[in-house]
Amino acid sequence: MINTLPNPVPLAISELRRHIFGVVIIVLLIAVAVAFGIAVSASERALREASARAADRFDIVIGAPGSSAQLVLTTVYLQAAAIPLLADDVLPRLQLDPGVEYAAPIALGDSVDQYPVVGTSKDFVTDGSRIRLVEGRVFATRGEAVIGAAVKLMVGATLQPMHGSAADQLIDEHKHSFKFNVVGRLPKTGTAWDHAILVPIEAVWGIHTGALSGTSNGSQAEAHREQDHSAGELLGPPWTNDDIKGVPAIVVRVKSPVDAYRLRAQYQYRAADKSGGDSGNTGGNTRVNSGSNTFGNTGGNYGGNKSSESSTMAVFPAEVLVELYAVIGDMREVMTAMSFATQLIVLLAVLLVIISALAQRRQSIAVLRAMGAPATFIFALVWIQGFLIIGLGAALGLVFGWGGSVILVNAFASDIGFNITPTISYREWLLAASAVLAGSILATIPSVIVWRQNIATTLR
């Protein structure tokens, strides 16, 4: 009679259905173990790719000596931090360099409803005419602004920037009297710049120069400056030393890779001419005056007579990202090792459960053998049951892992303004396949135990 059932799959599925509750628990346990490693791997890759895309348009970033990582995080990813100002002669000198396509100042410190207001130039807004606005036009006067794709404002709206941000807790916040009209919207990039409001750097200089004079909140001085800046006033470049009232960072778009390496070498910890101070400073002790000269501070930040003794620091954002990736990569390896260890522990636990369940089925298995079922049939029956449980758990782990990576990435990306969609690559497929392979090998242990079972002893 048993010869009419040569295929062990239907019988294996039937027995699993009889114990569906326990099977579901085991499958979910395996799925969670597999999902842990997949979520870590997919999230790390998605964040790496998104951060690399965000830095594509930043050939070189030049700032005052300090932390290169912080300079990139603040300039490329708009993570607010205190950064010293550059000397006033750096930007004009870069404008005259034949290898520079454009040199755009970047200045943060203000915000509108938690959207950072960034002072810069037309060249940066359009990336040297490479970017076309999806709505409106580029700012043409000091009272106009261009918004990122994710800014929830309309073209034609009026903005009143606030100095500082309560969320950053870097400085005391107060509203400026100067207002901007939104005249354009940038296309979606999936980076932090989608949440930015871009205004002329001249407007930032005008708003902050002497902002604390006259009244405690600077409103009288700002109103006076607003009258001074006529609507038809031209926006730079070129800028002269007298025009510049403070630049925390400069983004340089170069004409060729040769120019990029030349400029990086020229401005990497370069000490300018002495003017009564120590020009050999290549660390973070750059002399500043009239306040702390940083992103987001008040009073003397903009408009100070900054000496040429200040040094510069030039970085390739990609190189800084490589250093950050090395740290992230080490963390990923640790997390992946933990994932493999977790999967192994879970599979061993599943193996013990299967062996315990077989101890209760010894009589039924012995009856099958007595009815003529070959040992290979019994071996295949037990192995298929273990394989189905582990295979279903690994498949479900792929789904759980992808969902977990979406949650992890969105939780992290929301803080930096990234728009990231994790994907499952061959690496994640290999993680799931390794769990199935390991489970398939371990499933042979209970199969061998059953195959070597003594029928006479069991039925006695």
Residues 110-131 as b/e (b if ≥16 CB within 10 A, e otherwise) read bbbeebbbbbbbbbbbbbeeee
3-state class of 422 per DSSP? coil
Question: Tell me, what's the pLDDT at 350?
Answer: 79
Residues 101 and 134 in one domain: yes
Do residues 387 and 258 both lie within one domain?
no
What pLDDT is attached to residue 12?
80
Q: What is the pLDDT of residue 186?
A: 94
Same domain, 103 and 245: yes
pLDDT reported for residue 300: 40
- Our count of domains for the chain comes to 2
Rg (CA), the chain: 32
One domain, residues 224 and 274: yes
Question: What integer pLDDT is reported at residue 189 of this predicted model?
Answer: 84
Residues 219, 299 within the same domain: yes
pLDDT of residue 187: 92
For the chain, 460 residues long, the average pLDDT of each consecutive 10-residue run is 62 83 88 87 80 83 86 85 82 89 88 86 90 91 89 87 56 60 90 89 76 36 42 67 80 91 82 43 37 41 44 85 69 73 80 72 66 76 86 89 83 66 81 83 78 59
Distance CA 236, CA 245 (A): 13
Q: How far is CA 88 from the centre of its chain?
A: 32
- Same domain for 406 and 337: yes
pLDDT at 146: 93
Q: Which helix (H) or strand (E) holds 439?
A: helix 426-451
Whether residues 259 and 189 share a domain: the answer is yes
Asked if residue 235 and residue 278 are part of one domain, the reply reads yes
47 and 80 in a single domain? The answer is: no
Domain's final residue, options 270, 298, 315:
315
Task: Of 10, 30, 5, give the one whose Cα is nearest residue 384.
Answer: 10
Q: Are 122 and 138 in contact (CB under 8 A)?
A: yes
Closest CA to 446 of 379, 367, 388, 349: 379
Question: What residue type is assigned to position 130 of the chain?
Answer: R
Pair of tokens at residue 162: 């606030």
Structural domain ending residue among the three candidates 258, 286, 315: 315
Compute how many other C-beta atoms are within 10 angstroms of the C-beta atom of residue 352: 11
DSSP letter at 2 equals: G
The alpha carbon dihedral of 154, 157, 163, 167 has a sign of: negative
- pLDDT confidence of residue 78: 84
Is 333 in contact with 117 (CB distance < 8 Å)? no
Residues in the chain: 460
The amino acid present at 236, given as its one-letter code, is G
Residue among 214, 204, 295 nearest 245 (CA): 204
The pLDDT assigned to 99 comes to 92
In this prediction, residue 344 carries a pLDDT of 79
The DSSP code for 121 is: -
C-alpha to C-alpha distances, 393 to 6, 130, 381, nearest whole angstrom: 27, 48, 19
The domain of 406 spans 2-52+323-459
Strand bridging mode 60-63 / 135-136: unpaired
Q: Where are the alpha helices (DSSP H) in 192-302?
A: 201-208, 219-228, 257-267
Which pair of tokens denotes residue 186?
């940038």
SS3 (DSSP) at 120: strand
What was the pLDDT predicted at 372? 67
Say if residue 296 is in the same domain as residue 382.
no
At 260, which amino acid appears? A
In 3D space, the residue among 183, 145, 190, 227 whose CA is nearest the CA of residue 53 turns out to be 190
What pLDDT is stored for residue 253 in this prediction?
92
Report how far residue 439's alpha carbon sits from residue 391's, in angstroms, rounded to the nearest whole number: 8
Same domain, residue pair 64 and 45: no
C-alpha–C-alpha distance, residues 93 and 100, integer Å:
10
Assigned token pair, 342 = 């977790």
Q: What is the pLDDT at residue 210?
A: 46
Query: Using an 8 Å Cβ cutoff, are 311 and 64 in contact?
Result: yes
Asked if 125 and 142 sit in the same domain, the reply is yes
Predicted local confidence at residue 62, as pLDDT:
92
Phi, psi angle pair for 181, to nearest 5°:
-105, 130
Q: Which of 295, 315, 335 is the last residue of a domain?
A: 315
- Helix (H) / strand (E) element for 30: namely helix 20-54
Separation between Cα atoms, residue 279 and residue 89, nearest integer Å: 15
3-state secondary structure of 212: coil
